[in-house]
Amino acid sequence: MSPTAEPPNERQFGPLAVELGLLTQAQHEDAVGIQSQLRELGVLPRPIPEICIEKGYLTREQVAGVEIRLRQKDEWPKIPGYEILDRLGRGGMGTVYKARQVSLDRTVAIKVLAPRLEGDEVFIGRFMTEAKAVARLNHKNVIAGIDVGEAAGRHFFVMEYVDGETTSRRLSREGPLPEEDVISIGIQMAKALSHAAEHGLVHRDVKPQNIMITGRGVAKLCDLGLAKYDEGMTATPASGRSVGTPYYISPEQAKGGEFADIRSDIYSLGATLFHLATGEPPFGGASALVIMTKQMTEPTPSARKINPRVSRDLEQILVRMMEKQKEDRQQSPDELLEDLRQLEGRVTPSAGGVRRRRAKRRAASRSSIPPGVFIAAIGIVLLVVFAIIMGGGSGSQTDRRASTWQPEADRALRGATEWIESNPEQAPAAKAHRLQRVIDSFPGTSAAERAGEAIQRMQSGR
């Protein structure tokens, strides 16, 4: 290149520098104006980057950085109808770009298959499977598909652009998420999986990296590259190989050869929520094989031992989601949704759990009592406490709590019994799990005793 020649992509240099926040629009217009004046004088105009340096708008290091980005943009794929704006990320199967759909002037995301995989029919098939899977789904908690095709020998898939971050990135930044956020994400993902199940779709790779959260808190399931359909349309590797991510893979997927179904996704979502709630995946190890072996053989660790702020109710739901046998888990996303919604009503944004919510209800109730009645009630309570103390403390704290909880415990037992009676095909472990929740939530109540007796009858086969 001669000293007087213009550098490559000079017309794009200024707009990109402005987009990167290195140059103001006024500074760019000033540099362009200087070029125009030089042309009018018959003088060969100086390149925009040099003018910006001379005016003190940019340093040489900043100019070099912009020119590197320009060269990268030259390597970006050219897809008719779309203007590539930035690279969002790169994965094993390809690269995701932020782009503008010219016809509608809207921002989209475009996944482009990696050049090294363009000749691999298996990966092309998997890539197209994702596009077809997303095209089938239309739900606010699933990334929406827009377009799919091939341009200049490169396969691409256009989808909605989510202005947010993955739960994995948030986890890395903040550590364990508040329980109400974990429950909210779980509910939204259960809805997404329910919608997928209605269309015969199994995701097979639910994990924190595949859940996006928008700025408004909407969770979206993405990356359906390992998805399969019940009717057999799949782009999986050879039969017998494990498909999924070791930290979140279900036991049946880890074994390889077993068909995954929607209950496999429930397991993976359980492992994902465990990670979000505790800051650690349920199982770790020195290799993928070690981790998958633990998924198949070891019981789910206690989330509360890792993070004591996790409620017992959430821990129980996670344990059931991660049962080794599919028959012992929630049998559908809708059943999981029911469990999570029940828990949602007990957790407050203050993360105080069940006791704090009950305390707030008592405080609200007390505030509506007339002052005179309230003072009289306080006096009665003090007399009762004095009588208990003088009487040698008869009646334990557990007994008093059990008496307070009894109506709620009776309702919980009726709900569990009705569910068992209306679902006779469910596995005994699933039925016992419903009853055990009554025992754990309302210890010392007669409802808990009756639930224990019912479990014993199940175990004895009566």
Listed in sequence order, the residues at least 6 apart from 93 whose beta carbon sits closer than 8 Å to its beta carbon are 111, 113, 114, 117, 123, 126, 127, 225
Q: Please, what sign has the CA dihedral across residues 299, 300, 305, 306?
A: positive
Residue in 110, 137, 136, 282 with CA at minimum distance from that of residue 220: 137
What pTM, to 2 d.p., does this model score?
0.58
292-316 confidence digits (pLDDT tens): 899 999 999 999 999 999 999 999 9
Q: Which residues are catalytic?
A: 205
Alpha helical stretches, state H, 143-283: 167-174, 179-198, 251-255, 262-278
- What are 257-275's pLDDT values in tens digits? 557 888 999 999 999 999 9
Question: Per residue in 410-453, pLDDT tens?
Answer: 877 887 787 677 667 666 766 776 787 677 666 677 888 888 88
Distance, in Å, from the CA atom of 237 to the CA atom of 151, rounded to the nearest integer, reads 26
Sketch out the chain's domains with CATH numbers: 10-74 (no CATH), 82-160 (3.30.200.20), 165-344 (1.10.510.10), 370-460 (no CATH)
The residue among 364 and 324 whose pLDDT is bigger is: 324
3-state secondary structure of 70: helix
Confirm if 409 and 448 have CB atoms less than 8 A apart.
yes
